[in-house]
Every structure is written in C-alpha cells, then in structure tokens.
Chains A and B, each alone.
Chain A
Amino acid sequence: MGCGTSVATETQGKRVETDEAVKTPTPALTMKAAVLIQRWYRRYVARLEMRRRYTWNIFQSIEYAGEQDQLQLSSFFSFMLDNFTQLNGNGPDLISQLLDPVVDPWLDRETCYNLIPVPESYTGPRLSFPLSVSDTNALLSAFKEQQTLHARYVLQLLYETKKLLKQMPNIIHLSTSYTKEITICGDLHGRLDDLLLIFYKNGLPSAETPYVFNGDFVDRGKKSIEVVILLFAYLLLYPDYMHLNRGNHEDHIMNLRYGFTKEVMQKYKTHGREILQLFQDIFSLLPVATVIDGKILIVHGGISDQTDLDFLSSIERHKVKSALRFPRRSLEQLDLGQSYRQAKRMRSTDSSRPSSSRSHSKNQRTPNLRKRRCGLSRQDSAASISSSSSSSSSSSSLCSPRTPSCLSPRPCPSSPSMPYTVNVLQVPFLDSLSSVPPPSPPQHEREWKQVVDILWSDPKTQDGCSPNTFRGGGCYFGPDVTQRLLLQHGLQLLIRSHECKQEGYELCHGGQVITIFSASNYYEEGSNRGAYIKLGRELVPRFYQYQVSRTTRKLTLTQRVRAAEGSALRALKEKLFAHRSELMAGFQQYDQNNTGSVSVSEWAQVLESVLRLDVPWRTLRPHLTRLAPDGSVEYQSCFEDMGPGIPLPQVTPNLAETLFRYRTDIEIIFNIIDKDHSGLISTEEFRHTWRLFSAHLGVDIDDRAIDDLARSIDFNKDGSIDFTEFLEAFRVVHKLDNKDQQLNGKT
C-alpha cells in the first residue's frame, strides 16, 4: 500500500518493474496493479453517483415547481368561479359544473348503470356483483392485456365502492393478532406495472396477505384507471383485508392537472363525466388514516402540530372534497356590511403585513431543505395571487377564503402583479370580521385543515412545525412534532408516503418516521426503486425493494444514469425555452456591448433569478450551452436545439412564450370547456378564456393579438377551433432528439 511515497517515484518504479517482470509479476506488483484499477474504478463510479444526484435534483426541482403552477391553476379556477358565472352568455357556468359537486339524481339511482348497453363485441371482463375471485382475476388478466373495462362495469364498481366507503370510519384500526403480515405500499401514481409486480412478488390480496395502500393511486402514470379499479375491486372483494388511505392526489382538482381526468376522458368518452363525478365522491370518502395494533399510524402525507387523531375520527371527511378549494362560508354567517367595513380596515393595515411576510419567508430560506429553497421566493407571488383571487364582484357570491389566516401565517395579498381592477373584497377571516375574536376558527375550516395536514405534510429535520408554503398546504413537521404526537396517542411509528425516494423508502426522525414509495422509475427509467413494507406481530418493519424494467437486459449504472440524465436535461431545456425572453433580457443586461456572450457566473446568475430552480447550473453548463474560445458563455446557444412542434401561427413572441409555459394548464381549461369532447371550442369561448387566463397571470397581452390568434387558428373559419392542433404548435420539440437517441444507444 502506498505509504507516503510520492506518486512520481511510484510511477517510475512501477514502469521499471513492469519491463523487467513480464512473465512473472511479483505479488507486490500484482497488488499495486489491483489498487490502481480499484482506485480508477471507484472514481468512475463516484462521478456517476454525482451525475445521478444532479439528475435527481433537477427532477425534484421541476416537480416542485410544477406544484407551484398547480396553485396557479386552482386559484385561476376559483377566480373564474367567483367572477364569471357564464362563459358563453347562455347556459350555466361551465367551470362550476365540473368543479362543484352536482347532485345528479340520475347518478344516485341504483340502477343507472343497468341502462348502459354492453355490446356483444365487448370481450373484456363482465363483472357480477358481489364480486368474486374470478372477477378480480378477470380484471388482472384483462389489464395485463391492455383491455379497458366497459363503462357500465366501471360505474357499477364505483357505485358499490361508494356504498362501502360510506360505512367506513375516518380512521381504520387493524390488528396483526389474527392475520399474517400486513403489507404496506406507498404511492403508485397510475403505474400498473408496479402494482402487478408487487402482487407477483408478494401475493394477491387475501386473508393471508392483507394490504394497506397509502394513497396517490392516480395521476402522472398512464394507467391510473386500471390501478384504481383493481384496488377498489379487491376492496369490495375483501373489505377486511384490503385497506386504502386517501392521498393528496385523490382530489378532483389535482386530477385535472396531473392527468387522471384526462385519462378518464380519453378512455371513456361518453360516460367520462359521470365516472369522474363518482370518483370525486369516492375520493373524499376514502379513510384518511390507518392504525395498526394501536401502535403504528399510517397516513399519506404526515402530521402537523395541530393534528388530533380523536378530532380527526369525528369529522365528516367527505366534506373535504379538495384540498385546493377552501370551504365556502355560507351567506348567513356573515354580515355583508360589516365585512365591507372590515375590508376597508384590512387595506389600511395591509402596508404593515408585506414586510412581515417577507421576513417570514426569508427566515424560511435559511435553515430549510434544499429542494424547498427554490420555491420560496416564487411562492410569495403565487400565494399573493392566490389570495388576491379571493375576490367578489357580485353580491351573491362571497369569496372563498383562500388563505385562512387564522390557521396558518401567510403572506399578505398585496401582490405587485395584481393585474385586474376588480374590487378586491378581502374577507379573510372570522377574527377580523367580528369584534370579539372567537376562541377557535369555524368547525369546517378546522376539519379541512386536519385533513389537508394529513394529506400534504412533509417531515423536516429541524424541530418545529412550519406551513408548507411550497406545496401550498399542510406543514413541514419536525422530530419534536412527531415525538409529541406519538407519545400523545401511545404510538411508536409513523408510516407515510407522498415523497419519492431513490431507494423506495427512507427513515427519518430517528427512525420514528418511515417514508414508503411504491412507484419505481418515477421520474425516468432508472431514477428510483419502489418498495413496500411487511409488518408482522412484532411490528418490526421489513423493506422489500423492486424496480420495473422495460428492458430484458439488466441496465448498467452508466446506462441508467445516462437515461435519467438525458430526460432531466430535456425537461430543463424546455424550461429555458419557455422563459426565453426573460432570460434574454437578463443576459443582455450583462452584455451591454452585444457581444453575444457573458461570463459563466453571470449566465448562472440570470438562470437562477429567472427560473428559480434549485439546480447546479454551473455544473450543468456544458450540457446546456456553448463556450466561446475565451471561456465565456454564448448564451444564445441555450435555445438552439429547440423549437415549436409545428409551424407556429402568427403570434407575438410574448404570447408564444406564455403559451409554451402554460400549455398544460391551458389544455386542461380547454378540456373543461369542451363539454361534448369533440376537440373543438368556439372562437368566442377561446377568446374569453384566454383573456381571463392572461389577465390572471398578469401577462400583458394585447386584445388584438388574441383576436388575431383566434382568427388564425380557426382554420376553416367556421367559428370553432381544434384546440388539440393548436396546442400541438406549442409543444416544445427538441431538434436534436434523433441525434441524442443515437448517441445514447451506445453504452
């Protein structure tokens, strides 16, 4: 072993030795050779590990940034609901039809699904209720063969599930005394392959193999319907051995953005809306927690310092339809005149609050988790937009209190980007409306908070409990909060999910909290493993990991890292492209002489401030942009290999960029408007929606530009727009795609 000799001498010595000892290497030489190879290889693996972590950072940053956009979208919906009752002048409000639970007498009738004919040509499973093992087996084989269950059976299944769930308590109590080991699974997110792999490795649900699925069955993955149908089918088959907790994605507004709604609409064109309506009810009827042997608490997200399991058991959980729609207060509870006076008072105290909110978020910045850091500053504007959208134009509708200020400290709604001059009537809360502050917030808001905390919170390493301003709901809870709750209820362990972990699971808070995540390759092929927990009578968790693989050959670490890295970089590049004009403006500030280049630090600086993504820009620079011979960055090269999907209609750059950036949200809005799923909306609807959305975003778009755009995409001039085609234009395409794929083909 190299005991302090300098490397140069070693090198020399070794070379001489090698020349002389060709046939018979001495043991010492052999050892030296081995050490050299080991060092070289370890360094290589370390570099890969580094790249893997960077890639992970990118995915996580983008995902959390996406959740911020979600806040944007849902606040937009609320805004529309509160301000515009009719979009097209005649007929009821389209948005509230979809977003608000409609009591449809037809859906509640027991035999509604019987009226749906199932054609002879249908070869899929024909379920008979009550379900038997042959039904669930039929579902398994059908889904393995990519079949779709007929809408009639879907509706019946959902209806039966709803009936069953209504009888269940908020918190399910299980015991290991009479059963074998309980298997606990985390997020599945529509990954049917992962669910099938779990069933294959661990066994199908049965008396010997009871399961707890800890929420987030839907969204993001392409087979959410299949996953949730299987889970519900087993629930109906074995209600004593199959247990489902609600997750934050069991929420119709989340579904709008993250893909479940779209999947349902695409697979079930005729009955999609009814199916979605049932899902909405079912999701809110799912139990929120499971307790095993009175010792182990299982919830989807986590807890807060106000979590009270006894209170949680008593609430009406189905009233919390969505975490993103705060409970509306009823008219009777408030005196409108008084609220107006209070609002005036609020505005005068507004000036004092921005500074406190800013300092609040600044404090948040220093000790906190890396992945949260990026969102906090942006959150200021998002939160203020969302709170300012709680406005009321008509006297008949009160604003929905978007930010229950009495429940958690929030930034004040004085946003510089408030674009509209609508009379912002702040009706923040009960404590500011009545002269005597009440001892506690109204019942339904407390209930709402209890549920949202359970579904949205994340653990943090430092003590304390702070609002999860990043996700927009729930808290960050520290080890002390965990300790306190466990002690209070005589528990010993908290099992939760909600966060993707590279190994499929992770322990924290000194082993008192376990995160379990069951969707492998969540971000990309090879990004992470999935895992599940098995718990026997001794209540010591055992972890089982797996990874679904599309290839038959085992991928090397190099290949996995490369694949994930490629995908992450593409996503990142799309972000750059969607913020092009802001970035260029930033670059040009540093490049007054128009040389086309800036220093690496300046380049990184601009990216950090515009995109607010917590990724290591300097390290990623070689993948994103070119260097000039003098070592400075040619910033235009960032955007070189990307372009629009099909030739763009004539639009101003500003408009184009907004369309790129909010493409997903716009798609959702169009899908809602398009009631008959024809793929067409009227130009009037388009114009109206677009104006609203851009006003809400604070983007300054000329009315004429919108009209021109509408006209230009109404290709056959019949007053309707094929929005699929329109959106296709604003899908970012990577010009070097084919080339990249060829390169990645090699090891």
Chain B
Amino acid sequence: MAENKQSAEVIVSDVHKKIRAAFEAFDFESNNTVDAREIGTIVYSLGCFPFQKDLHDFISQVEENHSGYVHLDKFLPAMTKVLMEHKFPPIPEDLLLQAFEVLDKEKKGYLQPEELTKYMTQEGEPFTQEEMDEMLTALADHEKNHIYYKDLISQLTIDPDM
C-alpha cells in the first residue's frame, strides 16, 4: 500500500516536472507566465491531441482574466489533470492511416498536393496558408511531388525525445 502511494507520488512529481519543463520553454521572463497563444503548442508537445474547441475551452480555463497570459499556478494543476486522465489521447497510427485513406478516394496510395491542400484548408479545423506551405514542404516527395502517407505516418509519429 505504502509502495503504491509512493509510486503514485513519484508519477505525479514526474508529470509536474514534464509540465514545468514544457512551460518554461515559453516563459521568456522567468516569471512563470506564458502568452496564452503558446498554450496550444505546449499542450501538443506534452503528447495531447485536443480538438481546437477543447483547446480553446482549456485556455479560457487557465487564462488570467482575459489578460492574454497564463500563469503556471493555474496551468500546472489543470494540465496535470489532463495528463493523468488521458483527456486528449494520441491518435493511433492505424486510425491515422484510415483517415488518409478516406481522403485518398482513388486509393492511389498517395495524395496530390492540391488534394491535400483542399482538405486541409477547407475541411475540419482549417490550416492557415503558412501551415499548409510548411506541411507540403515537409511531406511531399521531392521528385514526384506526391505525398506517400503510409511512410510518413510512422516517420513523423516517432518521438525520440520528449
């Protein structure tokens, strides 16, 4: 029993450390405050996959009185809860593959940049032009300009560090 309690404490402490480290990367003035617009990046980098709406809800939860800033005091407990309860779990690879296959109507095995652009900028939670440009540069095969999604999924999901 005592052991379990201890390991639970250790787990929480580790989670706290992870959250702090991610938070600190954006705490430019070392006063435990970050710009609310960076929260999305922080949450994603901690391994969570919220929908935009959920993310906005979360941000309004932790933001300081519409100041545009978030303080660690509020962020830490809220984020700990998110992580401990696995609130925004990651997307399994096979699901991702299916998603791509849905978009790949002709079942070619790849997507044309125009196709992907259409979906990413018009459907769902649309990308900005900048996001789209970056995605195309990163994902498109350089010779044929096709996006071979099967290879990409495993490559880009590998998380060697955090």
A residues apposed to B, CB below 8 Å: 1-3, 7, 11, 14-15, 18, 25, 29-47, 49-51, 53-54, 57, 367-370, 373, 461-462, 553-554, 556-558, 616, 618-619, 622-623, 747
B102 close to A30 (CB less than 8 A)? yes
Chain A residue numbers with a CB within 8 Å of B2 are none
CB distance from A513 to the nearest CB of B (A): 15
CB distance from B51 to the nearest CB of A (A): 5
Q: A34's contact among B28, B47, B95, B119, by CB below 8 Å, is which?
A: B119
Q: A36's contact among B95, B126, B162, by CB below 8 Å, is which?
A: B95
How far, in whole Å, are A368 and B29 apart by their CA atoms in the complex? 6
> From residue 77 to 119 of chain B, which have CB atoms closer than 8 A to chain A?
89-92, 95-96, 98-103, 105, 119
B45 close to A49 (CB less than 8 A)? yes
How far, in whole Å, are A36 and B44 apart by their CA atoms in the complex? 14
A25, closest chain B residue (CB): B102
Given A33-B119, A57-B25, A623-B161, output 8 extra A-B contacts at Cβ < 8 Å. Answer: A11-B95, A37-B99, A39-B51, A46-B41, A370-B27, A554-B137, A556-B137, A619-B21
> From residue 11 to 33 of chain B, which have CB atoms closer than 8 A to chain A?
17, 21-22, 24-31
CB distance from B147 to the nearest CB of A (A): 11
Chain A residue numbers with a CB within 8 Å of B138 are 556-558
How far, in whole Å, are A554 and B134 apart by their CA atoms in the complex? 11
A46, closest chain B residue (CB): B44
B118-162 vs A, CB cutoff 8 Å, 1 = contact: the mask equals 011001111100010011011000100000000000011101111
Chain A residue numbers with a CB within 8 Å of B162 are 47, 50, 619
B53 at the interface (CB under 8 A from A): yes
Chain B residue numbers with a CB within 8 Å of A558 are 138
B134 close to A622 (CB less than 8 A)? no
Number of residue pairs spanning A and B whose beta carbons lie under 8 angstroms apart: 147
A50 close to B41 (CB less than 8 A)? yes
A554, closest chain B residue (CB): B137
B91 close to A30 (CB less than 8 A)? no
B24, closest chain A residue (CB): A616
CB distance from B113 to the nearest CB of A (A): 14
The number of chain B residues with a CB under 8 A from chain A is: 57
A31 close to B123 (CB less than 8 A)? yes
Contact A367 to B31, CB < 8 A, known contacts A30-B119, A616-B24, A747-B155? yes
Chain B residue numbers with a CB within 8 Å of A43 are 44-45, 47-49, 90
B30 close to A18 (CB less than 8 A)? no
6 contacts between A and B (CB under 8 A): A25-B105, A34-B120, A36-B95, A39-B50, A43-B49, A50-B41
A36 close to B29 (CB less than 8 A)? no
B160 close to A18 (CB less than 8 A)? no
B38-82 vs A, CB cutoff 8 Å, 1 = contact: the mask equals 001111110111110110000000000000000000000000000
CB distance from A703 to the nearest CB of B (A): 45
Contact A40 to B102, CB < 8 A, known contacts A616-B21, A622-B161? no
Q: B102's contact among A18, A39, A554, by CB below 8 Å, is which?
A: A18
Q: B100's contact among A31, A33, A367, by CB below 8 Å, is which?
A: A33
A35 close to B125 (CB less than 8 A)? yes
Chain B residue numbers with a CB within 8 Å of A3 are 53
B156, closest chain A residue (CB): A44
B135 close to A41 (CB less than 8 A)? yes
Chain A residue numbers with a CB within 8 Å of B95 are 11, 14-15, 36
Chain B residue numbers with a CB within 8 Å of A31 are 123-124
How far, in whole Å, are A47 and B41 apart by their CA atoms in the complex? 8
CB distance from A53 to the nearest CB of B (A): 5
